[in-house]
Structures are given as structure tokens and as C-alpha cells.
Amino acid sequence: MNCAEHPGNELGPQQDDSFRRETIERAQDALMCAHGCSAQVAAGILAGVARSSGVALHAVAENVLAVADSNSQSPPDAIRAAITCALRNVLS
């Protein structure tokens, strides 16, 4: 359940979209810092992971940020494998 689905939440669709875009941008920044890639490459990695894992782009971004915020967490296997594959393709 995302924050817009919580009972009593007054976020409208535009605010929810804005929150999702911000989350995606922060995840791109995290990938850029962690792997020294460009914004375009980071965006491509997130989009490719979302597509190949069948997980929504904003959910992939949330997982990336969770891992960046806490090294003890690990993203779901499908997302982790897709990120690893995307990074190998881009950075090799």
C-alpha cells in the first residue's frame, strides 16, 4: 500500500505523481553516486530494471533508496539481479 492509499490521506493524484518523480530522481542520484554513471545511464538502469522485473518504476526506485539508506537491507531478488545485469552492461 503506498501513501496515497492510506485511509485519511489527502494527497491528490498530482502530489502522488510528484512524490513518485522525486523518489525516482533520488534513486537516479544514488545510482550516479554509487556507480559513477551519468543521469541518463542511471535513468536507463531504473527503467530497464522495472521493465525486466515487472515492478513499477517508482517501486524499483524505492528499493534502490532503501538499499542506499541502509546497507543491511537487500532489494528483492528480481530487482537485485536486474540491477546487477544492467550495471554489468553499462560499466563494462
pTM of the full structure: 0.66
CA 35 from chain center: how many Å? 14
| Residue-level pLDDT at 91 | 62
Task: Evaluate the CA torsion angle 58, 61, 66, 72 in order and state its sign.
Answer: positive
Angle at 68 between CA 51 and CA 19, to 5 degrees: 65
Q: What is the pLDDT along the chain (92 residues), one digit of tens a residue?
A: 333 444 445 556 677 889 999 999 999 999 888 888 899 999 999 999 999 889 999 999 998 898 887 765 566 777 777 777 777 776 66
